Amino acid sequence: MAEATKKAFVTGHPIGHSRSPKIHGHWLAEHGIDGSYQAIDVAPQDFAEFLATLQVNGYRGGNVTIPHKEAAFALVVRRDEAAEEIGAVNTLWFEDGILWGGNTDGHGFAANLDDHAPGWACNGPAVVLGAGGASRAVIHALKQRGVADIRIVNRTLARAQELRDRFGAGVTAHGTASTGELLADAGLLVNTTALGMQGDETLAANPALLPDHAIVNDIVYVPLETPLLAAARARKLKTVDGLGMLLNQAVPGFERWFGVRPRVTAELRALIVADL
Ligand code: ATR
């Protein structure tokens, strides 16, 4: 008897905006895999039941997005180290019948910089704008890559301080009034706030204050060139947009469910850019 179709999913609420089906669909076709990857809208009150019935419904695993990342963290049986540190789960899979939850956002962030700014982790202090869920994934990755001086800047200082306490040595917390002095000797600036998204022209920070060797990364990818990246480019700094983080965070999940490590190619990027 032929092996059953390998099934995976992305769930959120709403989920219609998700680009994940296109990414995984592209890889399934590229590798000729008999598999499927569907978007499934699940309301928060139904999420626990959805997880409990994954295996009987034939799923190998899937992705979890807003608003289910924290609920998934609480409901899985085992968690990988990244999920533990970040406090949220974005990828589910089964191992020996046990439901595991992992977090690949930090991997996506670091792999995007590896692709477009090799050597980035040795470029000096990192300034991270924002202290929400995305910021936690970025700080986890920065620590893992050995960045020794990580400066969190947030409108609400208390949230930055919570993250400093969570991540410990090498991480400091600051209010936005200090941004200028923190940028003066920074090697990497990462925006994890929604500032600059979808036509918001507000600059999350002024790249003119950075040294010449600094790299600027925005994890926002709609628009692809945010006001922050445009200002950094005008200042002739190295810039990296956020789309590669989205593409790279999908890689470990695909490998777990479908058994092939897929590549983030220019072709895949163009496919998703056409849809932004
Ligand atoms: P995510 O999970 O995407 O990181 P989040 O947890 O809602 O989302 O966090 C959003 C981040 O963007 C926070 O750091 C938030 O700052 P506050 O903690 O002060 O709310 C930041 N942010 C959102 N809108 C902002 C704005 N208009 N100006 C400055 N920071 C903003």
For the Cβ of 65 lying below 6 angstroms from any atom of ligand 1, the answer is: no
**ipTM for the assembly:** 0.97
| Domain identity same for 91 and 150 | no
44 shares a domain with 60: yes
Question: Is 134 annotated as contributing to ligand binding?
Answer: yes
Given the residues 6, 7, 22, 69, the one annotated as active site: 69
Ligand 1 nearest-atom number relative to CA 133: 2
- Whole-angstrom CA distances from 256 to 2, 46, 268 are 20, 25, 20
Is 69 known to be catalytic?
yes
Q: How many residues does the chain have?
A: 276
> Any known ligand binding at 65?
yes
Both 23 and 91 in one domain: the answer is yes
pTM over the 0.95 mark: yes
62 lines ligand 1 (CB under 6 A): no
Residue 131 alpha carbon to ligand 1 centre in Å: 7
Cβ–Cβ < 8 Å for 113, 102? no
Residue 194 near ligand 1, beta carbon < 6 Å: yes
Mean predicted confidence (pLDDT) in 91-120:
98
Provide the CATH number for the domain around residue 32.
3.40.50.10860
CA-CA-CA-CA dihedral for 214, 128, 147, 247, to nearest 10: -90
CA distance linking residue 40 with residue 30, whole number of Å: 23
Spatial separation of the C-alpha atoms in residues 27 and 177, rounded to whole Å: 45
Q: Is position 168 within any domain?
A: yes
Regarding whether 192 and 98 lie in a shared domain, the answer is: no
8 Å CB contact between 64 and 90: yes
Whether the CB of 193 sits within 6 Å of ligand 1: yes
134 and 261 in a single domain? The answer is no
- Which residue type occupies 160? A
Treating both helix axes as pointing N-terminal to C-terminal, what angle do 266-273 and 20-30 enclose, rounded to 10 degrees? 140
Band of pLDDT at residue 202, cut at 50, 70 and 90: confident
Number of structural domains in the chain:
2
Q: What is the CATH number of the domain that holds 148?
A: 3.40.50.720
Q: What is the DSSP letter of 194?
A: S
Query: What residue numbers bound the domain in which 15 lies?
Result: 6-104+250-273
Q: What is the mean pLDDT of the chain?
A: 96
- Here the tokens at position 240 are 């990296």
| DSSP structure string for 49-63 | HHHHTTTTTTEEEEE
> Quick one: which H or E segment has residue 262?
none
Question: Is 39 annotated as belonging to a binding site?
Answer: no
Question: Would the pLDDT of 118 be above 80?
Answer: yes
Q: What is the pLDDT of residue 186?
A: 98
Ligand 1 near 204 CB (within 6 A): no
3 has a pLDDT exceeding 80: no
Closest CA to 142 of 110, 98, 172, 117: 110
- Verify that 34 and 117 share a domain, yes or no: no
Rounded CA-CA distance 100/94 in Å is 6
Residue 1 lies inside a defined structural domain of this protein? no
For ligand 1, atom 3, name the residue with the nearest CA.
134
Whether residues 121 and 217 fall in one domain = yes
Reported as a pLDDT band with limits 50, 70 and 90, residue 127 is very high
